[in-house]
Amino acid sequence: MLIVTGLLIQATALVLLFCRLKRTWLSHIGAIFIVIAVSYHGVNEILLWAFPGHDIYRAWFSPEYLGEFVIWISLAILLCTVTYLWALGRHDTQVTPHATNADLRRITRFFDWKVMLLVAAPLVVLSVNGQGYLSNGSPQGTSGVGVSAGLAQQFLLFALVLAGFGFVIRFGSRWMLPVLLIECGVVALLGQRAVVIWAGALTLYAFGRFGMRFTRRGLLVGIVILSVMALGITSARAEEGRFSTPSGGATRAQFLATGFAHIASAQTMHELAQDLGHRLDGNSFGAMELAAFASGQPHLGLTPLKNDVLLAIPSFLNPNKDSTDIGTRQEQIYAEEHLGLVRFQVAPTVWNNSLPTQLGITVGYFGPWGMLLAALLFGFAFGRADRWLRRGFEPARLLVGLGLLYCVMDYEGSLDTYTVTFRGILLLLMVVWAVKGMRVIAHGFGASGLTHPDLTPADGSTKKGPCDAVVGA
């Protein structure tokens, strides 16, 4: 009964959100955060009822703590939603700004697709050969990384997205779908379904910020592409298991080929049912934390947040960082160690972890009331961030938006993703500001003559490209 009540509270939050933002919710990062939170804390429970018997964590704590946590997290989501809509303001939910050709000239000068491709290419090669992104098994690089892995994890997805974005800006929206397909195909070689979805979401966000949206047919094709890529990886895992992260390009290509060849097999369907029966479980970790508190374990306080900030310090400034206790570099492990939570080892150095989630992890700081305070802060921060992001089209706003969306897409993790991700975004912002300053000094603001083939010109004409219809129109 408590779970059903919690689901109704979350449904109320979604009704408030969609009634206020309507079709524009996909361009609001705070709204995406709320929808993803409902997926992990609400939709997940429906999936567990539909595909029972696959969630190993539910047997390790009393159901009463699950119901209690679902109520608390549902109230947190509702509070976050109300605070977000208040902080966003009514004007920003009703007005969608449009980029001009001057905006496009500025953004294209900073993110030239050829330069971005030159940055992305070596990172892709390193990652496909097992020496880059996820080569240490962690998107945040919290288990110790070398220079190549660190650079790839920090910049690979952003470089790929900006290269594709710059190409479409330069040559027109007819290239949106091919670019999305190529990007997702490259990222699929990393062997992680979530990263494929992240890359697609970041790309669509960049397109949408500058008025380029798929038609309904184009959107449907894009969703099918992402789904097939993710299902192909699921199928490959069902047939061969996971490949070792240092595996080379040939192994990864063969892995995907096997997956696509058996995409409709019985093993794939079984693997899919197993994933649906536990993969989005964002409630077990919080329920185990409540059980730990009931057994007398103390709250964690703000130490995990302090560790998240220290994690973002580059290794050249703190050479001993990678040799410190892993609990000080991963917020989830810190909570598991200090609260005595269950972890399942499925192979040497490989653990089947429960999902802390960005809202759920905060219950460990000061209990459920601390989580409600965190929800209020999340809502206010996202509301103000979306107000700022939607009021201009400067390169800095695009970078911050992409960085914030990347963190939101990693909702199943903990808050260290924000400090580590924005370490890289801050470096990119410094580059943007330095280039801007040099151009001011050199008086380099002359007209470049570049125009975007699909965007409405400053003279008021209404030329449009084939993919420029608003989603849902």
pLDDT for 373 equals: 96
Count of other CB atoms within 10 angstroms of residue 185: 14
Q: Compute the distance between CA of residue 354 and CA of residue 282 in angstroms, rounded to an integer.
A: 8
Count of other CB atoms within 10 angstroms of residue 140: 24
Say which residue the tokens 């309507």 belong to: 22
User: 151 or 82, which is more confident?
Assistant: 82
Q: Compute the distance between CA of residue 383 and CA of residue 387 in angstroms, rounded to an integer.
A: 6
Long-range contacts of 138-142 (CB under 8 A, 24+ apart): 138/330, 139/195, 139/410, 139/413, 139/417, 140/311, 140/330, 140/413, 140/416, 140/417, 140/420, 141/420, 142/311, 142/326, 142/329, 142/330, 142/416, 142/420
Closest CA relative to residue 357, chosen from 330, 385, 332 = 332
pLDDT for 411 equals: 95
The phi and psi torsions of 252 (rounded to 5 degrees) equal -65, -40
Say which residue the tokens 């919690």 belong to: 6
pLDDT for 468 equals: 45
Q: Which residues pair with 345 in a beta bridge?
A: 351
CA atoms within 13 A on the CB side of 89: 11
Confidence band, pLDDT 50/70/90 cuts, at residue 54: confident
CA distances to 64, 167, 202, 418 from 108, in Å: 55, 9, 17, 27
Q: Which residues pair with 347 in a beta bridge?
A: 350
pLDDT for 146 equals: 63
Quick: pLDDT tens for 253-276: 888 888 888 888 888 888 888 888
pLDDT for 464 equals: 45
Per DSSP, the three-state class of 23 is helix
Closest CA relative to residue 469, chosen from 207, 168, 221, 214 = 214
Quick: pLDDT tens for 386-410: 999 988 888 889 999 999 999 999 9
Closest CA relative to residue 403, chosen from 433, 386, 426, 425 = 425
| Alpha helices (H) in 111-215, listed in sequence order | 113-128, 147-171, 176-188, 193-209
pLDDT for 47 equals: 92
Quick: pLDDT tens for 407-446: 999 999 889 999 989 988 888 888 777 766 776 676 554 5
First CA to last CA across the chain, in angstroms?
Answer: 39
Contacts of residue 450, Cβ cutoff 8 Å, sequence gap at least 6: 101, 104, 105, 108, 170
pLDDT for 136 equals: 53
DSSP-derived letter for residue 57 is: G
Q: Which residues pair with 352 in a beta bridge?
A: 344
Alpha-carbon radius of gyration of the chain: 22
For the whole model, what pTM was predicted?
A: 0.85
Q: Compute the distance between CA of residue 182 and CA of residue 100 in angstroms, rounded to an integer.
A: 27
Say which residue the tokens 């601390």 belong to: 370
